[in-house]
Amino acid sequence: MADEAGLEELMRRAVALGSAVRQTTPPNPWVGAILVPQDATTEFAGATEPPGARHAEIVALDAAGRAAHGATLVATLEPCSHHGRTPPCVDAIIESGVTRVVVGVEDPDPKVAGAGIARLREAGIEVVVGVAAAEVAASLGAYLHHRRTGRPLVVLKLAMTLDGRTAARDGTSKWITGEEARADVHHLRAESDAILVGAGTVRSDDPELTARTDPPALRQPLRVVLGSAPRDARVQPALEMGGDLGGVVDVLGQRGILQLLVEGGASVAHDFVSAGLVDRFVIYLAPAMMGGDDGAPVLKGPGAPSIDSLWRGDFISVTKLGDDLRVEVVA
């Protein structure tokens, strides 16, 4: 049996398996699983398949066959205990003869919420919870947030100069950042379930709002426009929405959107921030200065009335992409 360090390493590898299928599993979580037989001479890996197909635990169990008897199963998320599109994973685990299950984090989905762990323990299976929990929670952050709140994780993407400008006074804005930063934006789009912009951005920039990655993205996010987009706009077909932003986010959550990427423009970005709806900022910062007071600001709208009213978050990462920086901040 693996020791604590060995279990953490197995869990990190399971996280990588889950992350590799993130684009194909929503609204289900991108779970990874590794089954280690008693003799530990080999391993059987699994990752969640598209909705309606097998969950990660079942993929690993099917690969192991009889070798599952007496084995340890490592899974990033608590196995499900309810009938959804597929039968409960806990039933298959119990029937397989697995004797220990190692879980990264409990599933906050009300249909599970500890019931899967309880079922396994009632069947006499040892269950260890919380191994490499921070890494697992970071990987599954959008799913966990959605199941806890009913809303998607809202990510606001911003690209700006060092002095916080997004366009020159003549309206030109391409390109503030370099190729590596722009490529990273497309990967951010690919892992998001929906992209949202305002109708003004559609009319002025005519964005396509697709994920153009290499290798090609396995799916394209839902395109959402606040207001009405021209019928011949490149963003079409798009979901056109209006009204209170909180209500917009609620509706998208009900549609199974786990991560919403807000791309602007400046008024939309300001409104999301002032409404307290942004969970994470991804900021691409170019080593450039616009100068003056007539460039377009990153947030357009009333600012903080005093220094005591500043919005503050926490830096979680800073990454160099070519000449630019990618800065992540959480609320």
Helix axes 56-64, 4-19, angle to 10 degrees: 110
Q: Dig out the tokens for 142 from the structure.
A: 């959008």
Q: Which tokens is 40 given? A: 């530990």
DSSP labels, 56-118: HHHHHHHHHGGGGTT-EEEEEEPPP-S-SSS--HHHHHHHHT--EEEEEE---STTTTTHHHH
Residues 6+ apart with CB under 8 A from 51: 25, 26, 27, 28, 85
If one counts every other C-beta atom within 10 angstroms of the C-beta of residue 164, the result is 14
Catalytic residue among 8, 57, 106, 191: 57
Q: How far apart, in whole angstroms, are the C-alpha atoms of residue 174 and residue 184?
A: 16
Interior/surface letters 148-162, b for 16+ CB within 10 angstroms, e for the rest: eeebbbbbbbbbbbe
Secondary element (H or E) of residue 319: strand 314-321
Amino acid at 31: V
The reply to whether 126 belongs to the active site is no
In angstroms and rounded to an integer, the radius of gyration of the C-alpha atoms of the chain is: 22
107: tokens are 């599933």
CA atoms in the 13 A half-sphere facing the CB of 102: 27
User: Is beta strand 32-36 parallel, antiparallel or unpaired with respect to 72-77?
Assistant: antiparallel
Q: Is 314 exposed, middle or buried (0-12, 13-18, 19+ CB in 10 A)?
A: exposed
Alpha carbon 296 to its chain centroid, in Å, reads 29
- Phi and psi at 201, nearest 5°, equal -65, -40
Question: What residues are annotated to the active site?
Answer: 57
